[in-house]
């Protein structure tokens, strides 16, 4: 297949996989070899093994990093530091896009940045919403309370008390957190220290 034909058939896809190439007909291995050549020429951008986008000039949709985070490693949802900034709970913009998944931890680096996935138990893989990104594509992002608890759970050894958490993260707009959600999600983790932090945060919020 000529590149111009491939471009016209795939330019409306935010991302595409090597498995989808079967729908184009022809010899799949030949197509994969062509993909390798197009990647070397910069016509196609490899996101990870088997997952690609067209180059900046040829694609009609530039996928958001949030959408890519969900697509690169499934199942997963955006959480921890990136979700906290997304919900305006921390002021600093986060360069790496952080997610959680019941699969083993992984990291991918590509044209769009670094995507980090941290493993959590299947029983706590919950507390996320389906939202829309700037292209109208579905994205999965942790609720504010769950994003904070995911972060704390994965970093419990760093903190001894709530004051350290607030200062380290520079937590802001705490009043937007829902107290009942904090406690309900904290109980799912089955970890005494995390539940203590959640209860202390609720008490702190009531005093403000």
| pLDDT surpasses 80 at 26 | no
Kindly state the tokens that stand for 25: 């007909």
Same domain assignment for residues 17 and 98: no
Q: What are phi and psi of 28, to 5 degrees?
A: -65, -40
- Do 96 and 176 fall into the same domain? yes
Is 140 a member of any domain? yes
Q: How many domains does the chain have?
A: 2
Note whether 26 and 75 are same-domain residues: no
Shared domain for 106 and 171, answered yes or no, is: yes
**Other C-beta atoms within 10 Å of 155: how many?**
15
Note the pLDDT tens digit of each residue in 131-153.
999 999 999 999 999 999 999 99
**What's the pLDDT tens digit per position in 173-196?**
999 999 999 999 999 999 999 999
Confidence of residue 30 (pLDDT cuts 50, 70, 90): confident
Residues 117 and 187 in one domain: yes
Q: Which domain holds residue 41?
A: 3-54
Q: Which of 54, 76, 93 is the last residue of a domain?
A: 54
Parallel, antiparallel, or unpaired for β 16-17 and 77-78? unpaired
Percent of the chain with pLDDT over 70: 100
Residue 165 inside a domain? The answer is yes
């Amino acid at each position: 297949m000529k590149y111009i034909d491939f471009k016209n058939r795939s330019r409306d896809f935010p991302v595409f996989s090597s498995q989808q190439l079967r729908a184009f007909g022809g010899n799949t291995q030949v197509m994969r070899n062509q993909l390798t050549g197009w990647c070397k020429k910069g016509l196609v951008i490899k996101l990870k093994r088997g997952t690609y986008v067209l180059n900046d000039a040829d694609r009609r949709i530039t996928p958001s990093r949030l959408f890519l985070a969900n697509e690169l490693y499934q199942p997963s949802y955006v959480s921890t530091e990136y979700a906290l900034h997304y919900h305006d709970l921390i002021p600093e913009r986060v360069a790496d896009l952080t997610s959680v998944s019941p699969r083993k931890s992984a990291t991918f680096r590509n044209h769009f940045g670094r995507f980090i996935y941290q493993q959590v138990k299947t029983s706590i893989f919950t507390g996320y919403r389906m939202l829309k990104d700037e292209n109208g594509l579905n994205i999965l992002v942790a609720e504010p309370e769950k994003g904070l608890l995911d972060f704390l759970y994965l970093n419990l050894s760093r903190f001894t008390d709530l004051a350290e958490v607030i200062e380290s993260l520079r937590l802001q707009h705490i009043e937007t957190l829902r107290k009942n959600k904090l406690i309900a999600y904290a109980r799912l983790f089955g970890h005494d220290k995390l539940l203590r932090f959640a209860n202390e945060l609720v008490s702190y919020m009531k005093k403000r």
